A and B are shown apart, each in its own frame.
Chain A
Amino acid sequence: MRRLLLALAALAGLGAALGLGIGLRTDLADFLPAGRTPASAFLVRELQSGAATTLLLAGIEGAPPAELARISRETAAGLRASGRFDFIGDGTLSLSEAEQAFLFRYRYLLSPETRPEAFTAAALRERLQALLDGLRSAASPLLTRFGFADPTGAFLGLAREFLGETRVETRDGAWLAAGKGPPRALLLARIAGSGGLDAASQQAAIAAFRAAYDAARPGPARLLLSGPGVFGAEAARAIRGDVELISLASLGLLGGFLWWRYRSLLLLGLVAVPLGAGTLAGFAATALVAGGAPHGIAFGFGMTMLGVTVDYPILLVSLRRPGEALADAAARIWPTLRLAAAAAATGLAAMLGSGFPGLVQLGVFAGSGLLTAASVTRWVLPALVPRARIAPQPMPRPVAAALRALRGRRRLAFGLVVVALLVLAASGGPRWQRDIAALSPVPAAAQALDAELRRQLGAPDVRLIIAVGPGTEAAVLAASERLGAAIRPLLGPEGALEALDLPSRWLPGPATQEARRAALPGADAAEAALREAIQGLPFRPGAFAPFLAALAESRALPPLTTAGLAQEAPTLAARLSPLLTRRDGTVRGVALAQGVRDPAALAAAVAALGDPAILLVDVKAETEGLLTDYGRATLLWALAGGGVALGLLALGLGGPGAALRVAAPIGGALLVTLAALAVLGEALTLFHLASLLLLAGLAIDYSLFLARAPDPFSDAEVALGAVLNCAACTLLTFGLLSLCGTPVLRGIGLTVSCGVASAFLLACMLAPRLADA
């Protein structure tokens, strides 16, 4: 007993040391493989570190509009002061005086209107007449300010282009959501930094946001916050909530069940030792293979898979004959246990070949954990409690009778499998889950809020993204300009899409800027053209001197680059930065479509360009493709692993016939489980596949221990009881999991509990009939 406690304490200490020393990774970056097509590679990169991952959307409601506006303004001021955000959109978006002056200076290089024909006498005259007309109108204060230095309207055109895009109503310096419903102020913030799902910095930014909001003395108002970072936190909270409840409930149920069956606290400790040792070994092996912290997802799944190892001590204790030492019992069942563990580990090890970093880690973790747990059961447990006298209570009489009656009912088993096959054939098998949203652990209410805020803010459609580049800054901007020219005819309220936000919208490429500079007339030509244009119009001589001076200055300006923009016009640079990212000296651009009505027309226009630097990514189709690819690969590797495990069984049992007999209930259980999932309408995901692997590992135990020929000591009856206890333990834990709200956890729970029940029953039916009951 003391040794057992010491062992448990040592495991706990070692576990804490490993956990604290190495830790877990939680970023998705190294769980996903790099995509294999350019489109999927782009998508994975966007998922990991794209502009979309750094966005926070907020709504404030529950107060009168004026109060909401005040809270919004003060929150925005707090956010700006925090320095954690690149960009805050709150309705006060405007260019500072310095930025306006800068934009004014660069107007001829930035304006698409700068063409040689814009500066002829005829064109200028038209512009001067328009200016005069404008001066008569209500726009005169604006035009007297800018019109004489900029009669062609280049600057005002730019300002309209840069600032006039928002369709959100502004009131008292805050965005207010349009439409019915209670008033709601809207805010948009982009977290500073290179982006990516770095959970810590996302959390820090969210905390900063909430702090700025609280500092604005919100009173009775409520803050609604959304965005990928918030989603991550919501998902973690949802999963944690589910898991805590389930762990507590299943711990209680499991403890109660084991106490009922064994009347021994010792057993509870014994069960924990192989599981703990397996977890530690798996963790260490994965850390070695991954060259660092294992991934959280691999760890979580691996732990689930190691649930198999709870069976080992239960089998050991249950199969001990009366009066037999635990060490002798361990030696006696070792060949079977070894075979079961080796076959299950082989099946999991197949994932090593998949090439997906996440699955490789999972395979290493679960495989090494299983083998360690089996070895610990064989050699360590007997040493810890050498004189343990734990024996299972006899099975309740009706259960024993029912199970005895089931033994050897091959035809029943056959019938069950045939029914499963028929169901699968009739239903076409379970669907493969293609919608990534269904996988999301984010609560549906949070997803709905996000969609609503996005719509109210007019945030870009994330279904279609156009990748531009990679290349140099100049090359990417030039490609962006080609894309813009090709899409322009499709824009508008009647067109295929509402708008397209391009990197070149904020900064034209250097070649374009040079061409515009070259299009500006020389001093003499400009003066002559102006003199001719002004004939008969009521402008005083010299009225346009600032214009002539600006032309001369512009002809000497060097083209503006992203570096220059960042220095002189931070507001514009903040708009450009999510569309143009530089990493390791390579620049990549994205174009975001808004209000896409005709995706096919957009795709056709991009395809017609035939430009290798421009790639349209249909996010939905690509994620579906990725999911299908991962699923297919996992399935293939699982099948391969199954084949190898079968070979191992043949080797261990002395012939393919025996191996097939043991494997039959496993195959049958998989079919029955798939049929049950199809009937329940569950769509298959990677997580279901991983659960099927776990199921196969469990089923091997049942099948192997039940298939052993019955011997005179009525071992068969004892083995049946032991396996029943194992199956019941698994059912208790995974059955609860299938009640979870989180789709992924529910999927695992359903799969494993269906599978365990059918595997146990099938193994029972296929087991040799008792000689005489």
Chain B
Amino acid sequence: MSKPRVAIFDFACCEGCQLQIVNLEEEILDLIGAVDVVEWREAMAETSEEYDIAIIEGSITRPEDEDRIRTIRSRAKILIAIGACATIGGINKLKNNFDLDEVRNCVYGEAGQMEHLETGQTKAVDEVVKVDYKVHGCPMTGSEFAYVVRCLLMGKTPEIPDYPVCVECKMKENVCRWEYGEICIGPITRAGCGAKCPSAGFRCFGCRGYVDNPNVEAAKEVMDKYGLTVDDLRSKLVLFGSKQRPTYE
């Protein structure tokens, strides 16, 4: 059996998720042994127009990005989105809360009007093309990425958690952040991270996006119980939840 050809592309992102691939360290040799990497701007000079699996980091923010991702999709049999920017739009979507001219001006000043700085509404990859698998997180978890790739090599569907962060947080035996009166959005955020932030003493920031069926009504009622407001909650949701339906329900 010939090895599947893999190409890794980036759009609007910090490249931190690709760094997670590099950070696999010993395992990266296994990865490279199991697949044929034909394009990866961050790590090699070669490029290719023929590949089986396309791995996408970053969100789609410019008109030309949409053309580029459509071309990549048309060439790939399987497309995997990695990291919050690609899977949910991530922090990049904060931009969508403002007027685009204002955004250009704020970032680039007068130079913002230059043609190559044209910008559009930020989109997650699946708002433009079909995404087969998502490896969530900011950054994504390297071990989960490796697991997903191994599943695909087997031809089996990977199990991506569709339950809240609370499951993993309880397993870590953390004291619930709500017991400290903090607004933790773990109960509506997709797990898979191993509850890293609550285990380090922070609330959940929601980087893996909502579970498929978040109970937004419950979240709102809980705010009442704790003497907080829905706006307090929303202020915690916009970081990774801007322009996503549950944030505004």
Decide whether A and B assemble into one complex: no
